Amino acid sequence: MAENAQEKEFNFEDLLKKAKGIFEQVKKETSENLNVLIAGKTGAGKSTLINAVFGSEVASTGSGEPVTKNIKQYPITNDFSIFDTKGLEMAAFDETVSQIRDLLKEQKTKPVDEQIHIAWLCIPEGNRRIEEGEKELHAIFKEFDLPVITIITKAIQDADEKGVKFSDIVKKELSINDDKYFQRVRALEVEDDEGEIKKILGIIKDNKGNDGLIEKTYALLPEGQNAAFARYQKHDNELRQNAAKKHARELINYYSALAGGVAAAPIPFSDFLLLLPTQIGMITHVSNAYGLDISADTAKKVATAFVGVAGVGFGIKLAVGSLLKIIPLSGSIAGGAMNATIAATTTKLMGHAYLSYLDDNFDELENAISSISTDIFKEYWDKAKVFFPDDAKNIASK
Ligand SMILES: Nc1nc2c(ncn2[C@@H]2O[C@H](COP(=O)(O)OP(=O)(O)OP(=O)(O)O)[C@@H](O)[C@H]2O)c(=O)[nH]1
Ligand SMILES: [Mg+2]
């Protein structure tokens, strides 16, 4: 066992570089880019709606990049874009419709991440009629299997003096027979002539307390994209937290399987650091699911806290200096070997310990991350073991 008695040193920079590579690869594989297309006449309230859902910073993203003459792409972050269309009016209508058709056709040949994932078709309530352009666009979205939510914007009064509802007219004209594809919204709080305040409507809930645009959009988006949407919408904190948790759980399974692959041929416990790039990739990605970018320093802190807790069970200790050093503990079983199951289980429990720490501190994540320590990690690691008793058994004897 001479080899295992030796200390091993690793350069943290190298580790981080590998971790980043793994994270980027998995991010691609789990497709978390989000592209929302918003269409409707000039003045329909598209920009106002976008601001209401995604927050005011979206408005200040400049003038966007023209994709075609009548379609502009507004990159909000590196993984979230809004495509805004112009010219659904009579004159430019044919042109815009064919540009949208060409765009969707071209996108079909691209990776999922680069495609448009959902369309919001905005029809203003004011003049109580639906135009040819709007109908044709709706048909095109259907033709390309693009989930579309038809949105009546600037909602103020659904029924006219005869009791005919504009929402019924639109649903009938577009053959929408499920409300999950339809929403009336008022994106601005307005005051009517009587001085009565009309509150924002239909973004989170409608006036009967049913799901609004945000829940419906989340439900229609594919996995991965819906996680990004939940992160970027600004209204529904509960959705943001639940979606982050759900997505993080999936990511943890994914990375645990990767870690299992690293130890497919058993590795000595003292080679524990071979797993760390995968685990740091996971920590980075889970942080990302919670809307956080973590720095190299933070990654180091979390990784160190983790090995400080889990490593002891494997008879190893981590010394942190300019280099990370694995030190076998004397009288331990550091000569043992880590197989795929132990590697996957350790990674899973690490992920869940980190996830529940973030979940408990959802309202002050930045703080929570910068103050993570071995003691805190120990507490959450122990909790994770109680929560996953079968997994805990896998590593208990180690
Ligand atoms: N009362 C009321 N006014 C709204 C609502 N949404 C938008 N508006 C107003 O309608 C006008 C046009 O809204 P925008 O959001 O700029 O419309 P747009 O569809 O982005 O227009 P273009 O960018 O020109 O295509 C603005 O004056 C908004 O303040 C709403 O829900 N209620
Ligand atoms: Mg606009």
pLDDT block averages, 10 residues each, the chain of length 398: 57 90 93 93 90 76 71 87 78 80 92 94 94 92 96 95 96 97 95 89 88 96 93 92 96 97 84 89 95 86 85 76 72 68 94 96 93 92 95 77
The SS3 call for residue 124 is strand
| 86 CA: nearest ligand 1 atom | 25
* Whether residue 112 sits in one domain with residue 127: yes
Q: Is 167 found in the same domain as 42?
A: yes
Q: Is residue 229 part of a domain?
A: no
Q: What pLDDT, on a 0 to 100 scale, did the predictor assign at position 62?
A: 58
Instruction: Answer whether residue 235 is part of any domain.
Output: no
Range of the domain at 244: 2-28+240-396
pLDDT at 4: 44
Q: What share of the chain is helix, strand, coil (3-state, %, to 5)?
A: 55, 15, 30
Cα separation, 124 vs 102, in Å, equals 26
Q: Per the domain annotation, does 149 fall within a domain?
A: yes
Same domain flag for 106 and 85: yes
Residue nearest to atom 13 of ligand 1 (CA): 45
Residue 19 and residue 103 in one domain: no
Domain edge (last residue) among 188, 223, 258: 223
At a CB cut-off of 8 Å and minimum separation 6, what does 78 contact?
none
47 lines ligand 1 (CB under 6 A): yes
Per the structure, how many domains does the chain have? 2
Q: What is the value of pTM for the model shown?
A: 0.89
Does residue 232 sit within a domain?
A: no
Which of 37, 38, 48 is the pocket-test mutation for ligand 1 (most atoms within 8 Å of CB)?
48
End of a domain among 223, 256, 284? 223
Ligand 2 centroid to Cα of residue 43, in Å, is: 7
> What does the pLDDT read at residue 1?
38
Look-up of token digits 């942190």: 320
Q: Which residue's alpha carbon is nearest to atom 24 within ligand 1?
A: 42
Q: With respect to residue 144, please indicate whether it lies within any of the assigned structural domains.
A: yes
Ligand 1 atom at minimal distance to the Cα of residue 40: 19
Q: Is residue 330 part of a domain?
A: yes
pLDDT of residue 382: 94
| pLDDT at residue 257, rounded to an integer | 97
Task: Output the pLDDT for position 147.
Answer: 97
In-domain check, residue 207: yes
Residues 78 and 208 in one domain: yes
CATH number at residue 52: 3.40.50.300
Q: E strands within 137-292?
A: 148-153, 182-184, 190-191, 197-198, 267-268
For residues 329 and 270, give the distance between their C-alpha atoms in angstroms, rounded to a whole number: 10
Judge if 80 and 203 occupy the same domain.
Answer: yes
Task: Decide: 45 in ligand 1 pocket, CB within 6 A.
Answer: yes
Residues 246 and 292 in one domain: yes
Query: Residues with Cβ < 8 Å from 4, sequence gap 6 or more?
Result: 268, 269, 270, 328, 334, 335
Residues 79 and 201 in one domain: yes
CA of 85 to the centre of ligand 1 (A): 14
User: Which pLDDT does position 63 carry in this prediction?
Assistant: 66
Distance (Å) from CA 14 to ligand 1 centroid: 51
Q: pLDDT at position 197, please?
A: 92
Final residue before a domain boundary, out of 190, 223, 256: 223
Are 148 and 93 members of one domain?
A: yes
DSSP designation for 170: H
- Residues having C-beta closer than 5 Å to ion ligand 2: 46-47
